[in-house]
Structure 1
């Protein structure tokens, strides 16, 4: 079995997520949702009417100071996933005093990971420039992701060039929350090609080892990298547990040791499904990490 096969949304997971989304609509959570905002100018060549959009979930109650902001990046093997499946995360965060931005980005085979990372960076740039209109604090923008989205969230926090290329003088990401992240070191993974079917990852990552390294967060972290909050499933796939521990140790040597927790008994898919419940351990730590008052 291919070690990363879990990253695709299987039919069962899709059904479970759709049930959660339907339940969210029925319960009308206390948040203000604004959907399908284009974070790339619609007149720009290459604008993707489906993938270059995001949803914002803001608390309904007004606050004396702006709310912290979390930009959530979905997983799905770099070739699947949709922001609309994760409305429950947006609503949970809004209920707890966080403005949530749930994004789409282009997927393989139409796009490769460098383009995906650029899409995610452009969504963060939009957030930085516009989130005050939704009650969010542009000085407290954090990235968050599960699986492939976790790797992208880490890359955004670590690779400042993603933002300098888009005209920002400094990286606006103040920290990253990684939920069972994949792709932290695809340079190492793809050089080994240990598992049957690994060739499929040459579609999103390309054939060039230099390209694999260029989108691996492991090679960008420095002593100035913002803080990380990491959660790993106790029964996740070996590639995730080993690369996450390697990432943790790299940060530790730089004096940036992350908050790190292994959740006993959790497999990869339940690591994101548990975010349906607002009192789970990830939200408890996230609130402190981003400075949420709710």
Structure 2
């Protein structure tokens, strides 16, 4: 009996080590697999993959609930990864959870590392919006009802593009198409640059205070929801607090959700299965989306 127990313990230890290594190698891909297994079945399908530039990272993926009728508002999500790593291919869990609420979901990639140094990541963020405006109608999406979102570096991209109008203008997009922004664990006030990643992405090309969302004109900002863990040691919560304070002082609409004892990745986990069993974050996000895009009810409830 003791020998069997020892074998079982050894197996679980090996499985745990394997999972830990997989998460370290590509955490979002592991999340995507877990969500696919743990979540309810639904009719969300990948309906298009596309490229909007020559760099392999300039790509996007479009998902929709195949049973939904349009025109549907559009949710564009940008991955995190400190402007150095990440791939929209690994974030299908965002689409599987958001699309059934009545949205066409676009997962946007952008150039990273040397090719993606400021402002290239913002140019690409705006280019994803431009592609969406030009093409989303064929998938039942409404090009005039777009919400931008992202986690960590992706949240910075989404917020900065929504606030600094030159990037959308240069991409030929009217800022009025952006109905709202959801930022998860985003850096919005990090100048002077004090980490290796921020120095590589911003300081190395001479970026300054103009690169910061908190320093943009905030009076004309679209409605925003900022979600942040109070125990985030990667991107301190003061980033969301500073941006929220500035938006309120400028008279713009901003909602905040600060999560006690929550880490950097907690807001992202809360949008996936099985962590969605605590509905606090997911319910706040979907409530904000419906208010911003005038969607009153989900198109279709997930199948059991």
Q: What TM bracket, shorter-length normalisation? A: 0.7 to 0.9
Shift of the 201–93 alpha-carbon distance from structure 1 to 2, 3 Å rule, reads same
Identify which range, 245-254 or 24-33, moves more after superposition: 24-33
- Pairing of 1:124-273 with structure 2 (within 5 A): 124-182=129-187, 184-187=188-191, 189-190=192-193, 193=194, 198-207=195-204, 211-237=207-233, 239-273=235-269
Contact 1:221 1:251 in 2 (8 A): no
What secondary structure sits across from 2:247 in the alignment? helix
Shift of 1:88: 0.5
| Inter-partner Cα distance in structure 1 for 2:178 and 2:226 | 16
Q: What do residues 106-150 of structure 1 show as CA deviations (whole Å, max 9, x unaligned)?
A: 001232020011001000111112111111111110100111111
Deviation (angstroms), 1:15: 5.0
Unaligned runs of 5+ residues in structure 1 are 1-9, 41-46
CA 16–118 in structure 1, closer or farther in 2 if over 3 Å, else same: closer
**Pick aligned residue for 2:31 from 20, 34, 43:** 20
User: Counterpart of 1:111?
Assistant: 116
Tell me what 1:61 maps to.
67
Contact 2:185/2:264, CA 8 A, preserved across alignment? yes
Cα distance in 1 for partners of 2:139, 2:155 equals: 25
**Displacement of 1:67:** 1.5
What CA RMSD, in Å, does the superposition of the two structures yield over aligned residues?
Answer: 2.2
Cα deviation per residue 1:40-70 (whole Å; 9 max; x = unaligned)? 4xxxxxx11x21110111111132x522211
Q: CA deviation at 1:262?
A: 0.7
| Greater Rg over alpha carbons, structure | 2
Distance 1:179 1:214, change over 3 A: same
Paired position in structure 1 for 2:57: 51
**Aligned positions, number:** 268
* Shift of residue 216, structure 1, vs aligned partner: 1.4
Distance in 2 between residues matched to 1:134 and 1:52, nearest whole Å: 20
Query: Do the aligned partners of residues 284 and 206 (structure 1) sit closer, same or farther apart at CA in structure 2, a change above 3 Å counting?
Result: same
Following TM superposition, the consecutive aligned residue runs of length 4 or more in structure 1 with deviations greater than 6 angstroms are none
Structure 2: give runs of 5+ residues left out of the alignment. Answer: 1-20, 299-304
Normalised TM-score (structure 1): 0.83
